[in-house]
């Protein structure tokens, strides 16, 4: 049974919603179920959820709008969009709105549970107490114990997976980190979803590293191989 994480399930379909609720609880998670966007916002405002499973088609607010509002309120939770719409553009809109991942309906329950597990899992390599807890590359300072990242004197606000990804790249600064290793260390060794989520997270990291116009380290893509954080 996984360490109990608190999940907000946002689903207006009562058959799907009650099925997911039962499955998640059976797997040891604490779950709040909201069946509308406004109900979801109210629950999100008063509870510290680790993960949000967010249906895109809701009766009141659109899932994308709910995602934006949640991000504006608190950036810490992982948001996974559940969508019945196959249109890729809408998927990208979902990710632009600040979602960490998405699943297209119909999905297998095993797949959903694997994703949830991967997202709420704390990467063992990052939290290892025998390893140094602080990494400095040029102006970039990653403090693992306090979970804070500074570039020059500016603090960067990173989502959980972005932080884990950056920590791994910084630990291996100047060396190639393969996609397989990133997926296994930062996500889960049994990940069987799309690895597009990795590219999305790298893009978000690049944006944040360049955000203040400071000369932060750059992340080089080695096509088909992986990524490398460049030393200054
Ligand atoms: Ca729906």
Question: Who wins on pLDDT, 109 or 40?
Answer: 40
Residue ranges in 81-187 assigned as alpha helix (H): 88-96, 109-120, 124-127, 160-171, 179-182
Tokens representing 207? 């944006």
Report the 10 Å Cβ neighbour count for 62: 14
b/e 8-21 (16+ beta carbons within 10 angstroms → b)? bbbbbeeeebeebb
For ligand 1, the distance from its centroid to the CA atom of residue 95, given in whole angstroms, is 18
Distance 86 CA to ligand 1 centre (A): 14
Helices marked H in the chain: 14-26, 37-46, 63-73, 88-96, 109-120, 124-127, 160-171, 179-182, 196-210
The pLDDT, as a whole number, for residue 226 is: 92
The rounded Å distance from CA 63 to ligand 1 centre is: 9
Q: Which helix (H) or strand (E) holds 203?
A: helix 196-210
CA of 124 to the centre of ligand 1 (A): 35
Q: What confidence tier does 3 reach under pLDDT thresholds 50, 70, 90?
A: low
Spell out which residues have Cβ within 5 A of ligand 1, the ion. 12, 55, 57
- For residue 22, the model assigns a pLDDT of 94
pTM greater than the 0.85 cutoff: no
The helix-helix angle for 37-46 and 63-73 (nearest 10°) equals 20
**Residue 120 predicted with pLDDT over 80:** yes
Confidence class of residue 1 from pLDDT cuts 50, 70 and 90? very low
Tokens of 215: 């000369």
Structure token pair of residue 49:
């959820």
Nearest to 105 by CA among 79, 85, 80: 85
Question: What's the 83 CA to ligand 1 centre distance in angstroms?
Answer: 8
């Amino acid at each position: 049974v996984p360490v109990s994480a608190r999940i907000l399930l946002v689903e207006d379909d009562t058959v799907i919603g009650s099925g997911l609720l039962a499955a998640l609880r059976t797997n040891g998670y604490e779950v709040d179920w909201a069946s509308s966007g406004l109900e979801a916002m109210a629950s999100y405002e008063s509870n510290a959820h680790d993960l949000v499973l967010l249906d895109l088609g809701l009766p009141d607010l659109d899932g994308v709008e709910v995602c934006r509002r949640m991000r504006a309120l608190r950036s810490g939770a992982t948001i996974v969009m559940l969508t019945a719409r196959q249109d890729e553009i809408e998927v990208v809109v979902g990710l632009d709105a600040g979602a960490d991942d998405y699943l297209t309906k119909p999905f297998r329950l095993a797949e959903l549970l694997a994703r949830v597990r991967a997202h709420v899992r704390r990467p063992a390599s990052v939290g290892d107490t025998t390893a140094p807890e602080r990494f400095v590359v040029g102006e970039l300072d990653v403090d693992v114990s306090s979970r804070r990242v500074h570039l020059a004197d500016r603090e960067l606000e990173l989502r959980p997976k972005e932080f884990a990804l950056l920590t791994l790249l910084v630990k291996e600064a100047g060396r190639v980190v393969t996609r397989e290793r990133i997926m296994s260390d930062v996500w889960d060794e049994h990940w069987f979803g799309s690895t597009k989520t990795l590219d999305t997270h790298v893009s978000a990291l690049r944006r944040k590293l360049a955000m203040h116009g400071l000369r932060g380290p750059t992340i080089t893509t080695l096509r088909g191989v992986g990524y490398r954080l460049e030393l200054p």
